[in-house]
Structure 1
């Protein structure tokens, strides 16, 4: 059991700008619910450190909300299913909690019920204008371990922006000050459509089309009813490098790509995941399948965005037409090539066209990414069987979140919704090249998937 001892409203420690913050097309497309993350810290021997941790977090959060003042505001609905931020310093929320459990009772920290209890809850039944954009729950375990669980509105941040905020917060908690080059850049209009009215799309934006359904089905109702479960997989550096070598050693001529550079860690492990997921589902060889990827385009724009840009700088891309039979019969480089092709599609011109496409929608809600936590308004496209969504957190600097009591021993998603095929690839805390994979699959497929995942590894 987790017992909440207190709830505090944390407002900026100094006066902050007041007014309306306009959001970009990328922000508008994101789910307006919150991204849940957990940061786990091992026990310390310093009892004084234990008692002052929460006060340190409160004080430093109040201070970091000065430069990051939009997070202390509130969302408001405007026309066409769109949102804007009212910067009104209403503040974030911090809960102090206690658990009678010990850290080792949580196993590998897979996002299950015990982990969900560590996460602050948002009352999605209340008006959106009342929701804090940032909530934090600090839970102390009986063994002295600590969990800092955060939920941040996805309308406000992507992974990179969240990581920059967390590291700024941690730096202040350690008693240091932020440098000028660490300050956030808040003008999101630079990521709005450049044209008024928006230009017609210059590309066929297949990422906004409906994903394939299982053969013989006209909707995904049957698949959505199936029970799902989650798993945490560990992949050693040697296994990662083995997959990279396998992906690169047998070229596949069936996929046209612009670049010929070797496949990355992400491309190799994601292509292996995709194949093993399909193999475990055991669909017909003619079953179409596609993968949804999330691409950070900060450095892909010309000119690139300011380094401190705070907001969403990601768009989805999807693999082109592919069927199970080809994916499983051809070398790993075929799947990797499909992923590379989707990634290379995200050029400056393509991104600008996508922004115009989003801006041209009368109701952007139809394009909004999948919602979660029971807060569905417009049911999103079903990305599960026969498809998958594989997200990379490999390069996100979450393990720098040291409040003065050491770095976290684990960082990961606290929820994986109920989305079959949703997968996160993350760096491990060992920082030795090994990876951690969190995924949700239909329960009937999970054991087969695990078996194929490790058996099909090159040794």
Structure 2
């Protein structure tokens, strides 16, 4: 038998995709939610598409390029550059000669040869499917969107995107990509959802007023002590000594193992059967992971265990004073935390953790 082919990707010359029509230069303020330090990151996304006979002779590279040029007219801040303004506040400079980074590419195999498992996170082919642009590691003074479209021999393709999280969240990205499709292939003259900026709606008051307890920002003690063989261990002191001996990266490689787990309908139903009625998939699965992680860490029974997650506020603001337009494509979520002790989390059923998660979600108003 012939040995399997080595997976190779041949990239064409990178291009800057500009808005189809010339745009006026402008400076836009981001919201206070955008400005958080935790969002000053680049996020990579891989979208895999099998061959679609209905697409016929259409080239996905050309369809996406055309759609990008049209969509960026409406989403022109995404073609700009983020910079730090006064007091390190982020602003967006909207130029008419900038754009998004676009790379067409071709693979030497079909998707079936590569295998679905190899495309699951952590994907070992990420560096081939998404080109790293020198000088764009940060979130300022570089393209907000990096896109690579890799065509496979079977007719399928992978759409790889790296986006600046200070400018857009996952729901906003989906909205933008739908506009790219509708304008590039759907024959529409305007997308079904028109984008709006309105980022001042999610700014803090001129004089901030704390009106509730924000446990999500409190320091956690879960990593300070752990129990091994019946003895309490000062984890912080131990890790400090190990970092000095082995270094941060080697220490991480020694103690952290990356694995990808897929939960199908049977596994999810088995977890939901242990949870309250009408429990969502997010509540059930997150409760299970929280409980398992805590058991693996072996913290002190009285240690405070805090699970922090984000809640989308778009629908929650529809009936209020600060209504968000359906076309709002910015970060529109807040962090909340479910809190309990390690002993309660480990000894009680999964449903207990699911209830805490639901209560934390419902606290957002």
Residue in 2 that maps onto 1:169:
180
**Greater Rg by CA:** 2
- Would you say the 8 A contact 2:100–2:145 is kept in 1? yes
Residue in 2 that maps onto 1:343:
361
Residue in 2 that maps onto 1:271:
287
Structure 1 gaps, min length 5: 250-261, 348-459
Alignment pair present for 1:308 and 2:324: no
Give me the whole-angstrom Cα distance separating, in 2, the residues matched to 1:93 and 1:180.
Answer: 22
Give me the whole-angstrom Cα distance separating, in 2, the residues matched to 1:64 and 1:11.
Answer: 10
The partner residue of 1:159 within 162, 165, 170 is: 170
The partner residue of 2:68 within 61, 64, 71 is: 61
- Would you say the 8 A contact 2:46–2:160 is kept in 1? yes
Measure how far apart 1:144 and its partner are.
Answer: 3.5
TM-score by length of 2: 0.82
Alignment pair present for 1:217 and 2:235: yes
Q: Decide whether aligned partners of structure 1 residues 175 and 298 sit closer, same or farther in structure 2, where only a CA change above 3 A counts.
A: closer
Instruction: Determine which structure has greater relative contact order: mean sequence separation of CA pairs < 8 Å that are 6+ residues apart, divided by chain length.
Output: 1
Give me the whole-angstrom Cα distance separating, in 2, the residues matched to 1:178 and 1:285.
Answer: 61
Q: Decide whether aligned partners of structure 1 residues 330 and 154 sit closer, same or farther in structure 2, where only a CA change above 3 A counts.
A: same
Residue in 1 that maps onto 2:41:
33
Give me the whole-angstrom Cα distance separating, in 1, the residues matched to 2:191 and 2:50.
Answer: 32
Residue in 2 that maps onto 1:234:
262
Alignment pair present for 1:187 and 2:187: no
Residue in 1 that maps onto 2:231:
none
* Secondary structure, aligned partner of 1:232: coil
Structure 2 gaps, min length 5: 1-7, 226-233
Residue in 2 that maps onto 1:426:
none
Q: Which moved more, 1:5-14 or 1:78-87?
A: 78-87
* Root-mean-square deviation over aligned CA pairs: 2.6
Q: String of CA shifts for 1:24-72, please: whole Å, max 9, x gaps.
A: 011111523322111111235699736x321221111101111111100
Give me the whole-angstrom Cα distance separating, in 2, the residues matched to 1:122 and 1:210.
Answer: 36
TM-score by length of 1: 0.66
Measure how far apart 1:321 and its partner are.
Answer: 3.5
Alignment pair present for 1:141 and 2:152: yes
Give me the whole-angstrom Cα distance separating, in 2, the residues matched to 1:318 and 1:106.
Answer: 38
Measure how far apart 1:143 and its partner are.
Answer: 3.8
Q: String of CA shifts for 1:212-264, please: whole Å, max 9, x gaps.
A: 32411337655963223443333233432332231117xxxxxxxxxxxx422
Q: String of CA shifts for 1:385-441, please: whole Å, max 9, x gaps.
A: xxxxxxxxxxxxxxxxxxxxxxxxxxxxxxxxxxxxxxxxxxxxxxxxxxxxxxxxx
Q: What are the within-5 Å matches in structure 2 for residues 84-99 of structure 1?
A: 84-89=91-96, 90-99=98-107
Residue in 2 that maps onto 1:406:
none
Give me the whole-angstrom Cα distance separating, in 2, the residues matched to 1:107 and 1:15.
Answer: 41
* Secondary structure, aligned partner of 1:155: coil
Residue in 1 that maps onto 2:129:
118
Residue in 2 that maps onto 1:244:
272
- Would you say the 8 A contact 1:120–1:150 is kept in 2? no
Residue in 1 that maps onto 2:3:
none
